[in-house]
Chains A and B, each alone.
Chain A
């Protein structure tokens, strides 16, 4: 069974909906769910005022409506499945630890920010700082998987420490900004300054990328891990081609201004 929450009307002010996680809704009756309080602008509002509640079964929750002004959907979720049928505002899945969050439309900025585990799937495009670190944090995403079927905004994976971010479309500027580790796969174009300040992380790019001069060419080879990673992404539904899986990649090491153990792997043309 699916618990469905349908937005009654487009909210007049931003809504902070961190309570809408499958694990937080588990065990609650319909009246208890309707009484949950959310921030609506600068006041507390009952969930039932904003959303119509139907069905049950908190392990599978579906939120329906124009959710562009609803922030924090699925933030901190630890299990279950949450589907956002109308896109998502900022901070969707931020800090999530487990379960699966599926955004059927676009996601706002900070989607999956500092997430620790689980899987975030964005069927549309994602905003800035996808899987990124909040200001003052030492690290961004620390585990799990983020899959974006559209484009991603700037500074995707900023501060990335662990985990996998994959974007089918274009990735904005400064992907992997100051990332200590982890992996970013850009199946589309990669914006300027990728890997700026990166320490150990990996960026895999399928097109020639405008690299910073602090990256140095190492060699061209077939990294075995890329095969493994791309096969997993294909199994998860991203459009990965055989040529990308079997391809040769040029390894660029950097950022020379930092530790220099990071890498940008760019796909070469056929031999």
Chain B
């Protein structure tokens, strides 16, 4: 156990997996509409277990930062494989950005690997779509009732990291929430990383498998305080009555590591707690983030 401020940090590691990631830049006439589209795009994308992808808002963009000079939002979207990511991008951009008034959608990642997004969505134009090539990039203009939706044809994708995590334990639920809120706030500015769960925090960490064969995941009973007296293998320490988790996905290992470092530090500075991380013994995930290396 490592001591950091008021926290006890367990000498363990977070086990994360390779996931393919993309950065989507959404612009609109106002930040409000860019935000509406971005929240829809990244909605219902907390975990690949049930959502097929994980997504989150990376940050808001000033007008000067976007391709068309309008206010925008950048979002990151992750899926377990390349083809899956391509499908999710087409589905989500098509259903949430194309539909949203005043928006346009651009690739935000210069990468060797690319997938076709605008080139698929163009068919919504029913033959009235038109393409334009500018500085070597192709854009599709799709006529819509409001005017025109502009979307870049190809989006860069990279092999990223999904499932970096911190688990924060506290003596009551309010404290656990307060500590993880502080951690999530400290992690949010890290470029290239997102926290896909609501508010960045998950209360329902899962384990692989279930007693019910149809389910691929179920509640992580060993970390449920309410089951401490019922299960033989409870891992909830004495004095701990609430456990919350922060999951981090990133476009690479470095942003995940940096987000975990900031989150761990913020939680430890915010009050007494115990900080650990989830893993599967190291045999499943390609990326291991050791907490001892994150403590200053």
- Pairwise interchain contact A232-B133, C-beta atoms closer than 8 A: no
8 A-B pairs besides A224-B104, A228-B150, A229-B134 with CB distance below 8 A are A200-B130, A221-B148, A224-B149, A225-B148, A228-B134, A228-B139, A231-B67, A231-B68
List A202-246 residues whose CB lies under 8 Å from chain B: 202, 219, 221-225, 227-229, 231-232, 245
Task: Known contacts A223-B148, A225-B141; decide if A245 and B134 are in contact (CB<8 Å).
Answer: no
List B100-136 residues whose CB lies under 8 Å from chain A: 104, 130, 132-135
The CA of A219 and the CA of B135, in the complex, are separated in Å by 28
Query: Which of A222, A225, A227, A261 gathers the greatest number of chain B CB atoms within 10 Å?
Result: A225
| B130 contact set on A, CB distance < 8 A | 200, 202, 261
| B141 contact set on A, CB distance < 8 A | 223-225
| A223 contact set on B, CB distance < 8 A | 141, 147-148
Chain A nearest Cβ from B241, distance in angstroms: 52
| B134 contact set on A, CB distance < 8 A | 164, 228-229, 232
8 pairs of A and B residues whose beta carbons are closest in the complex? A224-B150, A221-B147, A227-B68, A224-B104, A228-B68, A225-B132, A231-B69, A225-B141
| A231 contact set on B, CB distance < 8 A | 67-69
The CA of A80 and the CA of B50, in the complex, are separated in Å by 52
**15 sampled A-B residue pairs with Cβ under 8 A:** A143-B133, A162-B133, A163-B133, A221-B147, A221-B148, A223-B141, A223-B147, A223-B148, A227-B70, A228-B67, A228-B68, A229-B134, A231-B69, A232-B134, A261-B130
- Pairwise interchain contact A224-B132, C-beta atoms closer than 8 A: no
| A227 contact set on B, CB distance < 8 A | 68-70
Number of chain A residues close to chain B: CB under 8 A? 20
The CA of A143 and the CA of B147, in the complex, are separated in Å by 27
List A72-125 residues whose CB lies under 8 Å from chain B: none
The CA of A143 and the CA of B67, in the complex, are separated in Å by 21
The CA of A176 and the CA of B69, in the complex, are separated in Å by 28
The CA of A90 and the CA of B67, in the complex, are separated in Å by 36
Chain B nearest Cβ from A35, distance in angstroms: 37
| A164 contact set on B, CB distance < 8 A | 134
- Pairwise interchain contact B68-A224, C-beta atoms closer than 8 A: yes
Query: Which of A162, A223, A224, A228 gathers the greatest number of chain B CB atoms within 10 Å?
Result: A224
Which of B133, B135, B148 sits near A224, CB closer than 8 Å? Answer: B148
| B104 contact set on A, CB distance < 8 A | 224
| B148 contact set on A, CB distance < 8 A | 221, 223-225
Residues of B bordering A, CB below 8 Å: 67-70, 104, 130, 132-135, 139, 141, 147-150
| B139 contact set on A, CB distance < 8 A | 225, 228
| B67 contact set on A, CB distance < 8 A | 228, 231
The CA of A223 and the CA of B132, in the complex, are separated in Å by 12
| A225 contact set on B, CB distance < 8 A | 132, 139, 141, 148, 150
| B135 contact set on A, CB distance < 8 A | 232
The CA of A219 and the CA of B130, in the complex, are separated in Å by 17
Q: A183 within 8 Å of B by Cβ?
A: yes
Chain A nearest Cβ from B93, distance in angstroms: 15
Chain A nearest Cβ from B84, distance in angstroms: 29
Chain A nearest Cβ from B128, distance in angstroms: 8
| A163 contact set on B, CB distance < 8 A | 133
The CA of A96 and the CA of B150, in the complex, are separated in Å by 29
The CA of A162 and the CA of B130, in the complex, are separated in Å by 12
| A229 contact set on B, CB distance < 8 A | 132, 134
| B150 contact set on A, CB distance < 8 A | 224-225, 228
Write the chain B residue with the least CB distance to A230. B69
Query: Which of A163, A219, A227 gathers the greatest number of chain B CB atoms within 10 Å?
Result: A227
- Pairwise interchain contact A202-B132, C-beta atoms closer than 8 A: yes
